[in-house]
């Protein structure tokens, strides 16, 4: 699996179209928008992976170390499932809506959503697993914020829902793939000989 930014764009556009058709600024409408946008983003993150380790784990043994004979290939998936972080992301989106003035680019403040998304990447990026039993633990650094406000500015400048969705999908995808995991890995007695470093993809 890998991240599908085109699918994310389509899902965000559906959210925007539905919200526009609602023609309401009521709290219920805002909550529905926040929940739907969260679902689109978390759905996209459901496919996030990092690379499989570059070298097999080593089992210390005399007279010489033994490399893992079943070392394979593939991807590693997060041990903390992205959908477990949905409420945290949604809270950031709800806070951003509350902090922003409707129909005003200058009054838009989605910093809470930016921070929430970065926190989601850090949380799900702390530990990863492969299908053949490797576990990698360490830390993921969210090196780049999404910048939700930049996407909404596209709409304020006359862009279509499709334009806004494309911009936001690109920003989310860019922030996600800029995040970097670094940590140790092992499988039972087989210990990784060097740190495992991988971008999210």
Please give the pLDDT value at position 61.
80
Please give the pLDDT value at position 2.
85
In whole angstroms, how far apart are CA 154 and each of 110, 164, 168?
A: 14, 6, 9
Domain boundaries, the chain: 5-199
What's the half-sphere exposure (Cβ side, CA atoms, 13 Å) at 23? 1
Q: Do 26 and 63 form a contact (C-beta atoms < 8 A)?
A: no
Q: Do 198 and 51 form a contact (C-beta atoms < 8 A)?
A: yes
Q: Which residues pair with 141 in a beta bridge?
A: 180
How many residues are present in the chain? Answer: 201
Please give the pLDDT value at position 194.
96
Please give the pLDDT value at position 26.
52
Of 14, 84, 53, residue with least CA distance to 182: 53
Report the chain's C-alpha Rg in angstroms: 20
Of 14, 41, 31, 82, residue with least CA distance to 175: 41
Specify the DSSP element, H or E, that contains 115.
helix 111-124
Please give the pLDDT value at position 7.
97
Number of other residues whose CB lies within 10 A of the CB of residue 70? 11
In whole angstroms, how far apart are CA 80 and each of 1, 88, 109, 143, 176?
A: 16, 14, 29, 20, 16
Please give the pLDDT value at position 23.
57
Please give the pLDDT value at position 44.
98
Q: What is the DSSP letter of 56?
A: -
Specify the DSSP element, H or E, that contains 32.
helix 27-45
pLDDT in tens, the chain (201 residues): 689 999 999 999 999 998 877 655 555 588 899 999 999 999 999 999 999 999 999 998 867 899 999 999 999 999 999 999 999 999 999 999 999 866 555 578 999 999 999 999 999 999 999 999 999 999 999 999 999 999 999 988 999 999 999 999 999 999 999 999 999 999 999 999 999 999 999
- What are 110-114's contacts with CB under 8 Å, separation 24+? 110/148, 110/149, 110/152, 111/149, 113/89, 113/146, 113/148, 114/145, 114/146, 114/147, 114/148
């Amino acid at each position: 699996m890998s991240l599908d930014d085109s699918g994310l764009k389509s899902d965000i556009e559906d959210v925007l179209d539905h919200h526009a058709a609602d023609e309401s600024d009521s709290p219920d409408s805002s909550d529905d928008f926040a929940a739907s946008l969260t679902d689109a983003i978390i759905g996209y993150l459901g496919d996030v992976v990092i690379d499989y380790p570059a070298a097999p784990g080593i089992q210390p043994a005399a007279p010489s170390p033994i490399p893992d004979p079943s070392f394979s290939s593939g991807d590693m998936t997060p041990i903390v499932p992205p959908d477990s972080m949905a409420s945290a992301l949604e809270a950031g989106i709800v806070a951003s809506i509350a902090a922003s003035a409707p129909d005003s680019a200058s009054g838009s403040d989605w910093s809470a959503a930016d921070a929430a998304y970065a926190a989601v990447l850090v949380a799900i990026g702390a530990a990863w697993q492969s299908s053949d039993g490797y576990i990698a633990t360490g830390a993921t650094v969210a090196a780049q914020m999404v910048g939700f406000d930049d996407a909404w500015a596209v709409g304020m400048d006359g862009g279509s829902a499709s334009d806004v969705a494309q911009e936001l999908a690109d920003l989310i995808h860019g922030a996600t793939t800029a995040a970097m995991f670094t940590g140790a890995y092992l499988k039972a007695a087989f210990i990784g000989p060097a740190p495992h470093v991988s971008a999210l993809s």
